[in-house]
Structure formats: structure tokens, C-alpha cells
């Protein structure tokens, strides 16, 4: 009998529904034969010899490869043909059934399969002898005898094929049964060859019994040839399988399918029912436990191997093999029995001297087949390839992860965020938008410069952790650049995005404690949504950055993108080259805004303000070209242009016997230039203006940045005699108490509080507090944005001394300022002033 399938046994008690009818068929056919045959039972000595031949022919399974299909062949048909010719019918049934019992006891089949095979042999042989009784009696060894014996022997194979197909259909479905029938031609062909070989032996024996000697010699020679063939074929197949394994592993090592390619081929190479890969958890990689099972296309997340075998192999770093064909750990046989596993090989996977996991095979296919010691070296070679492939795969995965993630926070970087956004915007979900929230951390530069970059890194890591913990589970949290974090997810609309941005910003604002240091970290947040603000990832990322930059103008704010932000940004980008040309050709003008005493409106100075009339764009807002200058490295030139013009006009006024102090705005970045005080000294000397006639105004965020970085420059400027003023006070998070440690002379209350005094009691209280405390600290107070008589009266009531605003004058160019002087100054006040600063007339 020949078989082509190598499917593993799947025993089930329902197989008795096939075994029982076959046993009944054997009993019925044997009874009929016993009744109709003249001599149903014959002599036993020859029967014993043929029984030995049947057992000898049934034990070995010869494997041949035909067109890449493995065919297993037994030679039981040869002695069966001789038995049909030489023995009585029931004697044939007895010895063929007894040979099946002996053979299958030797294979140690389970009870269900054992009795199925015995019943199959009994039913097939009894039906064959019944057919033989129905056919004409055999005489001689001519063609008639050949045909009769061929039909009888074919009955045995027919019963075998039908019974196997029936039990497969019963246990696994009609598709498997149909597949069994479809694969039977090779089995029928090999059976026919065996029957023909049996007839040839019969003819030789009929001529002379001495032919048995020649047959024995021929069988011995064929056995030697088959042994050599089997060894060569096994080596060839092993090399081919190893090549396929190596190629498949190499191809799948970079696309995440390594386990599928590895386990399927290891299982086939080792002819095992189960092949298992186990990798313990390592770093960000979770534990892996995957199993390939015979006739199962997918991988299972379980293992047939007992865990104790895996643990021993890993702990002791050696092969653990348990089974009938080999045993390195006999005390573990009970573990296999409990799991209903007949044999197992477990190999540790090594990367250098480190064990990174195990590779396991369990249950050699075929009830009569077992793993043997010669399988271990082959499996070790496979394991070595697997270990290298797994390490390479993890290395590639680690490199890929590093390429798409930030090294400090382990968050996705800009490349990964861009790819995720490109995928998200392809899917249009009704009633949903793709929201991007960009968080820009304020004050990180000051933390780095005052406490070191290690402290700044801790702040970034803490912000990342808070965003990860607070963001919805469906959100992607990433770090596209140094002090920026981006959150993207699907939400109902833009309002939901703004609400989430506020919630996350509040979570980040909680105090951060590092050792003995407590920091308050704030963020500016930009928000965009798809499809309202862009249809592709690049546009959305650009516009959310614009929104975040706009949010920085109001610390801690949340800004939703609007088209005006983009037009302004593009305009600023186009102004970079034009600004450089304007500075080279002195195209910028300096305007002057008067500062007066609030009680008697006496002129006490002017603030110098840069203005730019662009030949194409018209008037350019100061905040626009100052931002351009800061980003293009032209800020120092812009500052010097304003400072030169202010000092020149101050000199001219002094020569006209009207000395007038000037004030010039400084950017916070200028205070980091250690050469700036020397440059101020040079300009004062060049224009012959006393230092006390120059006031330098620095914004609150620039002079009170939480560090001591500006203090050395401020002290050097104070030592020159220059007056220092804190501009826009109240817009930051600083208190007046912080001013006590700074060498400043003046505080300018931000216009937003001054303009709200008449309508908002809170703004009035703030201005009152600033004026009162500043006077206690010996600081002059200037109120910006005085635009109404009511505001003026309120400022006078709380004791504020100096102010500037549209109530007195807008910023004016030099020529118009001179005319303004003439129109506003009382002539009698000038003639009798004795060199005092002119006093403005009250204008109704």
C-alpha cells in the first residue's frame, strides 16, 4: 500500500463509525468464504513463512520523490500476491490481519488508529478472497492467473483507499475526503507496481524454488542501492530546504514576516507537527510566542512544548530533547505525557554569548516516526541561521524605529508624523476632522542657558510624558522639532480641537519638580483641522506652525489657524531680502512719540520708533520687519540705525538749546551680545550726547526671563550712565519684586492695562499696584496708551507721573515733530523757561 500524504494524525472517537462497519464486513465476507470454499483453511508452515514476509514488507516505508512530491511505499502487496496463490482463503485473511496487528503494534499507534488499521486489513483481505472465490480457479501462472490475482489484490487497496477517505471525511469534512481521493493515483500506481512485482516472483518460484536465492540477492542489492539513494536524497533535500530557509529568512527579515517564513519552513524541514519560536520581552519588544502547525496556514499564539523544557534549555544553555528516538532529559517524559506530545527538541537561540530565545519542534509527523539524534545537528544549524536572522531583524527594526522616533522622548518624529498624516487625510470620515495640535514650550532656551541642557531635556521628557498620559488613546503624540510637540487625532470639529488643546495645555502647566527645583512650564498652542485648513500633510504642518507662532504673541494662548496668518508669514519671508536692501540704502525712517508729565503736560522726552514704507507693499508693520530682522540676523543693524538717528536728533535739539532725552527699544537677544555696551559708548561719544539722555527699553520677557543672563549687560549699561526701562510691564508672569535685583530706572505699564482702566476695575487695580510699588522701589513709572481724558484723570489720581499716547501725539517723523513742537508749545513758557524742557499747551 502506498500513501502520498504526510498529514499528522488527528484521532477522534468518531473513527469507530468506520472501524465497526469494516469489522462487520470482514466477518461477513469470511463467513461466506468459509461456507463456499472447499478447503477454507490450509497448512500453516508455509503460512508462517509468508506471515514473516508480510511483516518484513510492512515495517519499512520507502520514500521516493517524484516531481517534488514525496511518496511513501510499502511492499505488502508482493507477499500478499504469493499468499493468494499458495494458501487457502481464510488462511490468507488470518495471516494478513495478524501481520497488520504486528506491524501496527510495532508502530505504537493509538487504540483508535490501531483497530482502524486492523479492521481495514481484515476487511480488505476478506473481500479479496471472496472475489477470488467468485472468479475462475487459478491454474498455472499464465495471463488468466495474473488477471485474477491482480483483481483480488486490488480489492485490498480499494478498501484501504475508501476507508481512509471515509474517516477523513468524517473527522475533517468532505473537502479533506475529496482531497484524499484526488491524491490516490500515485498510491494506485505503486500498488500496481507491487502487484506486478509479486506476479514476477510467483512466476520465478513456479519455475524453480532455487530462484529464491537470486531474489534474495536482488533484494539485498536493492536495499543497498535504496539506502544510498535515501541518504543522498535526504542530504539533497536538506540542502535544498536549508537554502530555501536562508533565502526566505533573508527576504522576510525586513518586512516583519520573519516568524511566518521561519516557522513554516522549520516545521517542514524537521517534518514536525509543531514548530515554535519563543523570544522573551526585551526593551520595547514584547514577549513573542508563535507556533506553526501542520495543515494550518496561520501562526498560533500558543506552544505545544511544555514550558519547563523551554526554561531548562534557556537556563542551562543547551539542547533539551525528549522522545523515543533520543532523550537528554529523561525526567521530563512525564511532562510530554501530560501534554500528549510524543517527542520534542528545544534549542536555545544565541546571539554571541547571550541566549535570546528558543526554537522548538514537537511531534514528528507519522505515528511511527520519531526525532532521532541525527536530527539535532541539522536543527542546530537551523537555529544558528534563525538566531542571526532574528538579531538582524531586530537590528533593522531598531534602526527603523530610531529613524522614525525622537531619541530623547521616544516619540514619533517629523518623518513618522508626516507619514501618519498622509494616511489620515486619505480617509474622509463624515462628521469628523483630522486635528493637529502643536505645543511650543515657552522658556526652554532660558532653562538650557541657566540650568544646563540636562535640565532642559528633563523638561522635554516630562512634557512628552504628560502629553502621552493626557492625550486620548487614539491620538498620535510626536515631537517634530526641539521644543515642539504635536498631537493629531480625529475629532468632531475645530471647536473640539480647541477644547482639547486647552485641556492638554493645562495638564502641561502643572508644576514640574526636578530634585529641589520647581518649574512652571507654559506652552503656546497652534491648531489646524483637515479639510478646513489643508488637504495634505505638508500644508497642515506648515499652517499649524504658523498658528503656534501666532500664539506666542500672547503667552500661553491657543490659536486656530486663519488665512491671514499665512499671508503675513509669506509676506515676512519675502521681506527678508528687501529689509537688507532698505538698511543698506537708509530707506527706514525713525519716528518720535512724545513722553509728557501727566500733571502739567511738560515734554520730558521722545521714544524713537522705526518705520518702513515698502515701495511695493506700502507701510510694513514694525512687528513684521522686526521679526524678519530677528530671523535673518539683521537685528543688530536695525537697532544701530534707530540708535544713531535718535542720538543725532538729540544732539541737534541740544544745539538748539532744547535738550530732549530719547528712548530706544532693545530686543532681548541684544542683551546676550557682550559687545553691545561698548558699541553704545562709541555712539554716545561719536554724537556727543550725555549717557543720561539715553533710555534703553527692554520688554519684560527679555529682562525678566527667569535667569541672570541679562544682568551683566544691564549693569555695564547702567555703569555708562544710560537709563534702563522695563517695557510692556504686566504682560508676563513676573512680579515687581523681581525688579529689585535689576539695575533699572523705569517701568512702563503696558497699554492693554492703561486703556482698560476706565472700564475694567481689575485693570485699574493693576495699574494702581504697579505705580504704588514702583514708587516705593524708587522707580519712575510711564503709562503707555493714554488715549482719553478720563484715563488721564485716573492716572493723575493714582499718582502716575509720566505718560505717552494718542491723547498727546501719535509717533511723528522728525519734520512733523518740529511743527508739532511749534503748534503745541506755549511761547511764554519757552522764553521764561530758562532752559527747561518745553511745556505743552492744553488742547481742548
Question: Among the ranges 169-173, 474-478, 669-673, which has the highest mean pLDDT value?
Answer: 474-478
Computed on alpha carbons and rounded to an integer, the radius of gyration of the chain in Å comes to 49
Higher pLDDT, 105 or 28: 28
Average pLDDT in the 192-216 region? 76
Q: Is the pLDDT of residue 642 over 90?
A: yes
pTM above 0.75, yes or no: no
DSSP 413: -
- HEC profile for 140-161? CCCHHHHHHHHHHHHHHHHHHH
The three cell numbers locating residue 338? 501530560
Q: For position 134, what pLDDT does the model report?
A: 82
Q: For position 69, what pLDDT does the model report?
A: 45
Q: Of the given ranges (7-11, 74-78, 278-282, 303-307), which has the lowest mean pLDDT?
A: 7-11
Average pLDDT in the 505-513 region? 81
Average pLDDT in the 475-480 region? 91
Q: Is the pLDDT of residue 53 over 80?
A: no
Nearest to 249 by CA among 260, 262, 236, 240: 262
Do 190 and 2 form a contact (C-beta atoms < 8 A)? yes
Q: For position 679, what pLDDT does the model report?
A: 92
Q: Specify the 3-state DSSP secondary structure of 710.
A: coil
**Residue 678 neighbours by CB under 8 Å, 6+ apart:** none
Average pLDDT in the 770-792 region? 89
For residue range 387-442, list pLDDT tens digits in order: 777 777 777 777 777 788 888 888 998 888 888 888 888 887 788 899 999 998 87
Measured in whole angstroms, the distance separating CA 658 from the mean position of its chain's CA atoms is 72
d(CA 104, CA 55): 10
Do 604 and 802 form a contact (C-beta atoms < 8 A)? yes
- HEC profile for 309-349? HHHHHHHHCCCEEECCCCECCHHHHHHHHHCCCCCEEEEEE
Q: Specify the 3-state DSSP secondary structure of 491.
A: strand
Q: For position 141, what pLDDT does the model report?
A: 77
Q: Of the given ranges (573-582, 594-603, 727-736), which has the lowest mean pLDDT?
A: 727-736
Q: For position 245, what pLDDT does the model report?
A: 65
Question: Burial of 359 by CB count in 10 Å (0-12 exposed, 13-18 middle, 19+ buried)?
Answer: buried
Strands 618-620 and 603-614, sheet pairing? antiparallel
Q: For position 229, what pLDDT does the model report?
A: 57
Backbone angle region of 534, left / alpha / beta, with phi > 0 → left and psi within -120 to 50 → alpha: left
Please name the residue that has the C-alpha cell 556727543.
688
Q: For position 9, what pLDDT does the model report?
A: 42
Handedness of CA 797, 802, 805, 810 (dihedral sign): positive
Which percentage of the chain shows pLDDT scores above 90? Answer: 12
**Residue 368 phi, psi (nearest 5):** -95, 0
Higher pLDDT, 319 or 237: 319
Average pLDDT in the 224-251 region? 63
d(CA 717, CA 679): 10
DSSP 426: T
Q: Of the given ranges (127-141, 429-443, 686-700), which has the lowest mean pLDDT?
A: 127-141
H or E stretch at 189: helix 184-207
Please name the residue that has the C-alpha cell 485641556.
503
Average pLDDT in the 437-466 region? 81
Q: Is the pLDDT of residue 362 over 60?
A: yes
Distances from the Cα of 230 to the Cαs of 191, 238, 460, in angstroms?
20, 12, 66
Distances from the Cα of 779 to the Cαs of 248, 745, 775, in angstroms?
80, 5, 5
Q: For position 236, what pLDDT does the model report?
A: 57
DSSP 668: G
**Residue 513 phi, psi (nearest 5):** -110, 120
Q: Is the pLDDT of residue 691 over 60?
A: yes
H or E stretch at 356: strand 354-364
Higher pLDDT, 83 or 72: 83
Measured in whole angstroms, the distance separating CA 130 from the mean position of its chain's CA atoms is 71
What's the full length of the chain, in residues? 844
Kindly report the number of other CB atoms within 10 A of residue 73's CB atom. 21
Q: In the sheet where 62-66 sits, what is the strand order?
A: 2-3, 69-73, 62-66
Average pLDDT in the 111-120 region? 80
Q: Is the pLDDT of residue 837 over 60?
A: no
Q: Is the pLDDT of residue 555 over 70?
A: no
Residue-wise over 808-817: b if at least 16 C-beta within 10 A, else e?
bbebbeeeeb
Angle between helices 453-470 and 444-451 (to 10 degrees): 140
DSSP 371: -
The three cell numbers locating residue 721? 550712565
d(CA 497, CA 625): 32
Q: Specify the 3-state DSSP secondary structure of 688.
A: coil
Nearest to 537 by CA among 431, 415, 405, 429: 415
Kindly report the number of other CB atoms within 10 A of residue 223's CB atom. 12
Kindly report the number of other CB atoms within 10 A of residue 221's CB atom. 10
Kindly report the number of other CB atoms within 10 A of residue 685's CB atom. 10
For residue range 246-262, list pLDDT tens digits in order: 666 666 655 556 777 77
DSSP 833: S
pLDDT bucket at 835, cuts 50 / 70 / 90: very low
Q: For position 599, what pLDDT does the model report?
A: 87
Pure H helices in 405-526 = 414-424, 444-451, 453-470, 494-509
Residues in a beta bridge with 595? 605
d(CA 432, CA 435): 9
Higher pLDDT, 538 or 339: 538
The CA dihedral of 764, 768, 770, 771, to the nearest 10 degrees, is 130
Distances from the Cα of 391 to the Cαs of 264, 387, 737, in angstroms?
19, 6, 60
Question: Burial of 233 by CB count in 10 Å (0-12 exposed, 13-18 middle, 19+ buried)?
Answer: middle
Q: For position 650, what pLDDT does the model report?
A: 92
Q: Of the given ranges (17-21, 259-263, 502-506), which has the lowest mean pLDDT?
A: 259-263
**Residue 600 phi, psi (nearest 5):** -120, 10
Q: Of the given ranges (295-309, 586-600, 770-784), which has the lowest mean pLDDT?
A: 295-309
Binning the chain into helix, strand and coil, the percentages to the nearest 5 are 55, 20, 25
Strands 746-749 and 618-620, sheet pairing? unpaired
Measured in whole angstroms, the distance separating CA 571 from the mean position of its chain's CA atoms is 39
The three cell numbers locating residue 460? 522635554
Q: For position 66, what pLDDT does the model report?
A: 42
Do 343 and 372 form a contact (C-beta atoms < 8 A)? no
H or E stretch at 719: helix 711-720
Contacts of 137-141 with C-beta under 8 Å, sequence gap 24+, read: 138/85, 140/206, 141/199, 141/202, 141/203, 141/206
Average pLDDT in the 449-468 region? 82
H or E stretch at 197: helix 184-207
Kindly report the number of other CB atoms within 10 A of residue 82's CB atom. 22
- Mean pLDDT computed over every residue of the chain: 79
Average pLDDT in the 14-29 region? 82
The three cell numbers locating residue 335? 511532562
Please name the residue that has the C-alpha cell 526701562.
725
Q: For position 707, what pLDDT does the model report?
A: 59
- Within the chain, what is the greatest distance between any pair of CA atoms? 163
Residues in a beta bridge with 64? 71
Amino acid at each position: 500500500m502506498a500513501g502520498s500524504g504526510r498529514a499528522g494524525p488527528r484521532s477522534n472517537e468518531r473513527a469507530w463509525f468506520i472501524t465497526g462497519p469494516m469489522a462487520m464486513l470482514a466477518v461477513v465476507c469470511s463467513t461466506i468464504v468459509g461456507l463456499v470454499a472447499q478447503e477454507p483453511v490450509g497448512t500453516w508452515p508455509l503460512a508462517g513463512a509468508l506471515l514473516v514476509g508480510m511483516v518484513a514488507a510492512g515495517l519499512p516505508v520507502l520514500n521516493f520523490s517524484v516531481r517534488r512530491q514525496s511518496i511513501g511505499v510499502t511492499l505488502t502487496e508482493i507477499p500478499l500476491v504469493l499468499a493468494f496463490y499458495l494458501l487457502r482463503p481464510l488462511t490468507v485473511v488470518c495471516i494478513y490481519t495478524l501481520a497488520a496487528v504486528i506491524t501496527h503494534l510495532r508502530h505504537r499507534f493509538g487504540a483508535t488508529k490501531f483497530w482502524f488499521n486492523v479492521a481495514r486489513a481484515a476487511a480488505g483481505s476478506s473481500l479479496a478472497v471472496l472475489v477470488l472465490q467468485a472468479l475462475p480457479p487459478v491454474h498455472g501462472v499464465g495471463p488468466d492467473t495474473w488477471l485474477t490475482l491482480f483483481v483480488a489484490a486490488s480489492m485490498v487497496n480499494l478498501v484501504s483507499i475508501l476507508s481512509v477517505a471515509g474517516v477523513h471525511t468524517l473527522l475533517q469534512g468532505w473537502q479533506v475526503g475529496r482531497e484524499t481521493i484526488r491524491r490516490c493515483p500515485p498510491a494506485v500506481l505503486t500498488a500496481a507496481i507491487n502487484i506486478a512485482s509479486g506476479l514476477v516472483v510467483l512466476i520465478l518460484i513456479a519455475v524453480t524454488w532455487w530462484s529464491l536465492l537470486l531474489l534474495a540477492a536482488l533484494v539485498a542489492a536493492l536495499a543497498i542501492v535504496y539506502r544510498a539513494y535515501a541518504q543522498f536524497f535526504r542530504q539533497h533535500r536538506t540542502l535544498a530546504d536549508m537554502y530555501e530557509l536562508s533565502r526566505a529568512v533573508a527576504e522576510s527579515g525586513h518586512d516583519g514576516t520573519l516568524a511566518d517564513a521561519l516557522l513554516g519552513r522549520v516545521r517542514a524541514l524537521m517534518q514536525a507537527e509543531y514548530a515554535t519560536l519563543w523570544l522573551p520581552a526585551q526593551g520595547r519588544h514584547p514577549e513573542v510566542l508563535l507556533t506553526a502547525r501542520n495543515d494550518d496556514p496561520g501562526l498560533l499564539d500558543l506552544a505545544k512544548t511544555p514550558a519547563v523544557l523551554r526554561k531548562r534549555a534557556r537556563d542551562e544553555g543547551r539542547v533539551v530533547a525528549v522522545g523515543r528516538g533520543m532523550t537528554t532529559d529523561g525526567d521530563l517524559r512525564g511532562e510530554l505525557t501530560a501534554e500528549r506530545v510524543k517527542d520534542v527538541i528545544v534549542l536555545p537561540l544565541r546571539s554571541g554569548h547571550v541566549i535570546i530565545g528558543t526554537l522548538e519542534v514537537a511531534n514528528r509527523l507519522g505515528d511511527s516516526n520519531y526525532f532521532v539524534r541525527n536530527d539535532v545537528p541539522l536543527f542546530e544549524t537551523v537555529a544558528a541561521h534563525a538566531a542571526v536572522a532574528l538579531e538582524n531583524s531586530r537590528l533593522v527594526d531598531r534602526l527603523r524605529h530610531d529613524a522614525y522616533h525622537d531619541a530623547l522622548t521616544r516619540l514619533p518624529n517629523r518623518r513618522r508624523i508626516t507619514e501618519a498624516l498622509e494616511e489620515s487625510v486619505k480617509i474622509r470620515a463624515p462628521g469628523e476632522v483630522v486635528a493637529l495640535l502643536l505645543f511650543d514650550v515657552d522658556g526652554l532656551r532660558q532653562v538650557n542657558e541657566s540650568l544646563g541642557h540636562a535640565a532642559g531635556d528633563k523638561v522635554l521628557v516630562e512634557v512628552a510624558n504628560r502629553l502621552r498620559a493626557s492625550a486620548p488613546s487614539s491620538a498620535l503624540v510626536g515631537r517634530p522639532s526641539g521644543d515642539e510637540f504635536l498631537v493629531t487625532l480625529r475629532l468632531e470639529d475645530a471647536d473640539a480641537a480647541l477644547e482639547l488643546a486647552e485641556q492638554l495645555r493645562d495638564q502641561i502647566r502643572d508644576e514640574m519638580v526636578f530634585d529641589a527645583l520647581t518649574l512652571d512650564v507654559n506652552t503656546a498652542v497652534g491648531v489646524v483641522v483637515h479639510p478646513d485648513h489643508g488637504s495634505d500633510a505638508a500644508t497642515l504642518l506648515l499652517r499649524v506652525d504658523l498658528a503656534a507662532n501666532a500664539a506666542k504673541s500672547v503667552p500661553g494662548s491657543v490659536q486656530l489657524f486663519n488665512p491671514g496668518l499665512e499671508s503675513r508669514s509669506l509676506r515676512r519671508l519675502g521681506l527678508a531680502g528687501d529689509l537688507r536692501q532698505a538698511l543698506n540704502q537708509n530707506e527706514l525712517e525713525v519716528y518720535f512719540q512724545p513722553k509728557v508729565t501727566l500733571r502739567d503736560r511738560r515734554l520730558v522726552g521722545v521714544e524713537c520708533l522705526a518705520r518702513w514704507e515698502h515701495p511695493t507693499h506700502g507701510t510694513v508693520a514694525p512687528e513684521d520687519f522686526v521679526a524678519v530682522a530677528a530671523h535673518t540676523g539683521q537685528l543688530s543693524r536695525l537697532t544701530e540705525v534707530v540708535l544713531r538717528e535718535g542720538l543725532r536728533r538729540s544732539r541737534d535739539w541740544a544745539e538748539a538749546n532744547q535738550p530732549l532725552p530719547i528712548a530706544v527699544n532693545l530686543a532681548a537677544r541684544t542683551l546676550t551680545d557682550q559687545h553691545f555696551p561698548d558699541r553704545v559708548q562709541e555712539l554716545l561719544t561719536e554724537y556727543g550726547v550725555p549717557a543720561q539722555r539715553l533710555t534703553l527699553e527692554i520688554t519684560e520677557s527679555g529682562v525678566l526671563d527667569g535667569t541672570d543672563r541679562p544682568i551683566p549687560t544691564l549693569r555695564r549699561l547702567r555703569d555708562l550712565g544710560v537709563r534702563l526701562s522695563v517695557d510692556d510691564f504686566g504682560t508676563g508672569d513676573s512680579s515687581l519684586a523681581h525688579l529689585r535685583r535689576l539695575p533699572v530706572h523705569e517701568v512702563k505699564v503696558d497699554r492693554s492695562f492703561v486703556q482698560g482702566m476706565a472700564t475694567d476695575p481689575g485693570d485699574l487695580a493693576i495699574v494702581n499696584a504697579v505705580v504704588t510699588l514702583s514708587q516705593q522701589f524708587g522707580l519712575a513709572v510711564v503709562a503707555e496708551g493714554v488715549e482719553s481724558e478720563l484715563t488721564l484723570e485716573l492716572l493723575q489720581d493714582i499718582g502716575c507721573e509720566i505718560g505717552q499716547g494718542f491723547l498727546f501725539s501719535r509717533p511723528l517723523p522728525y519734520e512733523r515733530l518740529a511743527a508739532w513742537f511749534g503748534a503745541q508749545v506755549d511761547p511764554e513758557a519757552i522764553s521764561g523757561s530758562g532752559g527747561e524742557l518745553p511745556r505743552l499747551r492744553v488742547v481742548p
